[in-house]
Chains A and B, each alone.
Chain A
Amino acid sequence: RKEVEQDPGPFNVPEGATVAFNCTYSNSASQSFFWYRQDCRKEPKLLMSVYSSGNEDGRFTAQLNRASQYISLLIRDSKLSDSATYLCVVTEGYQKVTFGTGTKLQVIP
């Protein structure tokens, strides 16, 4: 079993749609959780941190469920510019960073 598992994707959604990504992790000692966005041939960029209390930033909402070891990302009113690969990242301090394989999102006009 992979340490961090994500929806396989790809997700092809029309503009304006709401799309949700899921991620599960196996290391119960994990401390910090993030969603990163990676555009084709670019480095990953931090999208948002994920907290148990939930975290909302505009059209993006992230949620963490420690009991179930589950992380989610919700994107509302999808834009063409949201097309990218979304990486679930779980860390145990700086020394242990684990990436999911990523979920590709393609927003269609």
Chain B
Amino acid sequence: GAVVSQHPSWVICKSGTSVKIECRSLDFQATTMFWYRQFPKQSLMLMATSNEGSKATYEQGVEKDKFLINHASLTLSTLTVTSAHPEDSSFYICSVGQGSGNTIYFGEGSWLTVV
């Protein structure tokens, strides 16, 4: 069964609006979750590291005021794309690391289309 659940799978929004994506760790508590973005035919790029109870750590070039991350509990992290623009259209995926082998589990991903 799924280890990490992400919602919604698909979302279309108008330019200028905000969209929230949820990432839930189903089988274990996760103090750290990761958010990635993947443009067509490109590799996954880490956007930010979500830390439970504290501020997220953003990668260089990722606007923290545009991509708001909240990790209020040990099983839920949210990514809000604020004032979305068409260039924000992408595949957003969250992940959680688990186990001594550092296995990475991914959510199902969320396709965002901004029109």
Contacts and interface: CB of A to CB of B under 8 A. Distances in A.
Q: Do A and B come from one complex?
A: yes
B102 A94 contact: yes
A48 B97 CA distance: 15
Interface centre among A32, A45, A93, A101 (most CB of B within 10 A): A32
Contact of A49 (B32, B46, B103): B103
B80 to A, nearest CB: 20
B43 A46 contact: no
A16 interface: no
Given A43-B108, A91-B102, A97 B46 contact: yes
A95 B33 CA distance: 9
A95 B104 contact: no
Given A94-B32, A101-B42, A46 B102 contact: no
Interface string B100-115: 0111111111010000
Given A43-B108, A95-B49, A102 B102 contact: no
Nearest to A92: B102
Contacts of A94: 32, 97, 102, 104
A73 interface: no
28 contacts: A32-B101, A32-B103, A41-B91, A41-B111, A42-B109, A43-B6, A43-B93, A43-B108, A43-B109, A44-B44, A46-B104, A46-B105, A49-B101, A87-B43, A91-B104, A93-B102, A94-B97, A94-B104, A95-B32, A97-B34, A97-B46, A97-B95, A97-B97, A99-B44, A100-B43, A101-B42, A101-B43, A102-B43
Which 6 pairs from chain A and chain B are nearest by CB? A94-B97, A43-B106, A43-B109, A32-B102, A101-B43, A99-B43
